[in-house]
Structure 1
């Protein structure tokens, strides 16, 4: 029996309470994921009996355990072992080892264990919650980013993932999140769209498929300003493939302030949001070299001086991630093996940029709005939106007002009461009239959403000859 096998080891046993586990696929990533603690987990199986019992070997950060687990996870015994014992036992595991990054997310009175699988299972993301009893489980309200429950699907059990790999049905699950947008341009393009989490899964799976027959694989990730192409998509791919990957930022290929000034003297007025401001030909040459497993000498752009003052040697890796506004420009598109456009509407682009630049640059909101309206948005429509047609698929990362406004800390709460107040009563209470103001409020809808439905307000207030 497995229990006898464990007892003969002489390892110290740690009792574990009975627990109920529920496991889910997800349809979106929680906001500010990187602020939560995380664990690096490696686990494998030394034995699995016909009745479903198992002996599991697990490393969680610097802790090492042998675990005996009964069918259905109703009974579990944890035995702490030394790193040396773990190292000696690891070659004895059956099937493949499982490696994953686990985020610990507090929610209600519980902890959500969000697992990003790696090394053969890249792209699979699951969420797990543990309960002490059924009443606790029944009272738990699922977060809105949870999707299909897989608690009772044997294909998603870790021991089966170890033996059989990703379930075939998982790709079918991802395909359910593919949608055709109602915008005419996208309909004509016929490019599949995915929400953020399924889209990242699709991206990772596409990279993994390419890696079977070729190395390196060049991944081009484009999108408008503040779309999340860098912080949410490119960085997540880098985290999954780790040392086998590298990120190249297109920002390093800006030609610099001196070039822009020389262009002005020649009568060419450029801005930083058009492709001519970057040396795309040099970038293309560098991508071609990396594809041939050759190292490159990449410029390093300094935003403070607005010049590329130094260079660095970049060695080729299995996965090369190019991210930037113009990553899908016609000059570069043929170098990409996997091509993705991260999409967000103009309303979301502006609000994210506004919240970002207020904190990052200290600019006044009116100056940010002016630059966005006069430069950023026209350049997006002219040079970036059109490159969407070069994408293999689109990842939608739309602005969520209820989440992102709270995260920014730049919001207010107002309490209003409908009532008639007698000024004489106020004076008796010691109130003194300071001024009288007349306000005219004008309300607007952006072109890409109905603010009544999203609970937002876009208002311009006229007061005292000024607009706010």
Structure 2
């Protein structure tokens, strides 16, 4: 690529619909689009942390490697391919393999901390915050974590009450003020989605010309 990729940041609470919105944007643009989750940059847990994994706060900024995330995005925006880590939720560690992320016309960074780090925020061209009712988020999280991440319902609810909701209130919700667009209900909000796609297609056409 000769043109700097257009970076989209999509933040919001856990299970608010960030990934669904990212996938729907990618589909609607009908062009190559690289999607990266901030979850890829979770730090490996130490042996002592693994022993107390039920008491580890995955929703705190300290759980993420923002330096590595920053470096990966910088390379993509400078048209360099980058190896993005793959996080294994069942082992709470990174796997031995990577995702080869290519610099495409649009790059999407999605995750609870997508708009948290000021340096990363400054790179992002379009900042989106997905805002979904907390009860709906909890219901989605229970289904996701029990079906896909090998957790039981009691641990999911414990984690939500002790870490997820307090972290949302302290770290994630305040990111809304940095967003360019707030999307209630995520991909279900057709009017907001259409406005986003209209904006991105205008950007796409300007780059093509």
Distance (whole Å) between structure 2 residues aligned to residue 301 and residue 321 of structure 1: 18
Structure label with greater radius of gyration: 1
Q: Is 2:92 the counterpart of 1:303?
A: no
Q: Structure 1 residues 350, 304: CA separation in 2 closer, same or farther (over 3 Å shift)?
A: closer
Note the aligned Cα RMSD (angstroms).
2.5
What is the correspondence of 1:343-382 to structure 2 with a 5 Å cutoff?
Answer: 343-361=131-149, 363-382=151-170
The structure in which a higher percent of residues are helix is 2
Q: Is 2:58 the counterpart of 1:258?
A: no
Q: Which residue of 1 aligns with 2:177?
A: 389
Distance (whole Å) between structure 2 residues aligned to residue 257 and residue 287 of structure 1: 23
Q: Structure 1 residues 238, 352: CA separation in 2 closer, same or farther (over 3 Å shift)?
A: same
* Structure 2: segments with no counterpart, 5+ residues: 189-209
Distance (whole Å) between structure 2 residues aligned to residue 394 and residue 347 of structure 1: 19
Q: CA deviation at 1:258?
A: 2.4
Q: CA deviation at 1:378?
A: 0.6
Distance (whole Å) between structure 2 residues aligned to residue 360 and residue 300 of structure 1: 15
- Which runs of structure 1 show a deviation greater than 3 angstroms over 4 or more consecutive aligned residues? 259-262, 355-367
> Contact (CA 8 Å) 2:34, 2:102: kept in 1 or not?
no
Per-residue deviation, residues 53-85 of structure 1 (Å, max 9, x unmatched): xxxxxxxxxxxxxxxxxxxxxxxxxxxxxxxxx
Helix, strand or coil at the partner of 1:257: coil
Q: Which residue of 1 aligns with 2:114?
A: 327
Q: CA deviation at 1:366?
A: 3.8
Distance (whole Å) between structure 1 residues aligned to residue 92 and residue 34 of structure 2: 24
* Structure 1: segments with no counterpart, 5+ residues: 1-213, 401-468
Per-residue deviation, residues 153-189 of structure 1 (Å, max 9, x unmatched): xxxxxxxxxxxxxxxxxxxxxxxxxxxxxxxxxxxxx
Q: Which residue of 1 aligns with 2:194?
A: none
Q: Which residue of 1 aligns with 2:105?
A: 318
The structure in which a higher percent of residues are strand is 1
Helix, strand or coil at the partner of 2:46: helix
Higher relative contact order (CA 8 A, sep 6+): 2
Q: Structure 1 residues 244, 215: CA separation in 2 closer, same or farther (over 3 Å shift)?
A: farther
When normalised by structure 1's length, the TM-score is 0.36
Distance (whole Å) between structure 2 residues aligned to residue 333 and residue 243 of structure 1: 24
